A = this chain, B = another copy of it.
Amino acid sequence: MGMWIGRNRKARVTYGFDEIALVPGRVTINPNEVDIAFRLPRKETQPLEFKIPILASAMDGVVDVGFAVAMNKLGGLAVLNLEGVQTRYKNPQEVLQKVVDASKSEITALLQRIYQEPIQQDLIAARVRQIKDAGVIAAVSSIPQRAAEFGRIAQEAGADVFVVQSTVSTVRHISSEYKSLDLEKFCREMRIPVIVGNTVGYDVTLEIMECGPAAVLVGVGPGAACTSRGVLGLGVPQVTATVDCAAARDAYFKKTSRYVPIVTDGGMSRGGDVCKALACGADAVMVGSAFAKAHEAPGCGYHWGMATPHANLPRGTRIKVGSTGSLKQILFGPAEVDDGSQNLVGAITTCMGNVGARNIPEFQQTEIIIAPSIRTEGKLFQTVQNVGMGTS
Q: Which residues of A contact B (CB under 8 A)?
A: 1, 3-9, 11-30, 32-33, 104, 108-109, 112, 167-170, 172-178, 199-204, 207, 220-227, 229-244, 246-248, 266-276, 279-281, 289, 303, 308, 311-314, 316-321, 332-340, 343, 346-347, 350-351, 354-356, 367-371, 373-382, 385, 387-389, 392
Secondary structure class of chain A's binding surface, majority of residues:
mixed
> What are the residues of chain B within 8 A of A203 when measuring CB–CB?
26
> What are the residues of chain B within 8 A of A174 when measuring CB–CB?
27-30, 33, 356
A37 to chain B minimum Cβ distance, whole angstroms, is 18
Q: Are A272 and B240 in contact (CB under 8 A)?
A: no
Q: Are B320 and A338 in contact (CB under 8 A)?
A: no
Q: Are B368 and A9 in contact (CB under 8 A)?
A: yes
Contact of A24 (CB < 8 Å), options: B22, B168, B202, B225: B168
Q: Are B23 and A201 in contact (CB under 8 A)?
A: yes
Contact of A232 (CB < 8 Å), options: B207, B347, B356: B347
> What are the residues of chain B within 8 A of A380 when measuring CB–CB?
224, 269, 392
A321 to B226, CA, bound (A): 23
A17 to chain B minimum Cβ distance, whole angstroms, is 6
Q: Are A233 and B273 in contact (CB under 8 A)?
A: yes
Nearest residue (CB) in B for A15 is B5
27 interchain pairs (CB within 8 A)? Answer: A5-B20, A6-B242, A9-B281, A11-B15, A11-B370, A12-B369, A16-B376, A17-B233, A18-B376, A23-B200, A24-B199, A24-B220, A25-B170, A29-B175, A108-B336, A225-B388, A234-B272, A234-B354, A235-B371, A268-B378, A289-B378, A313-B335, A313-B343, A313-B346, A314-B335, A320-B381, A320-B385
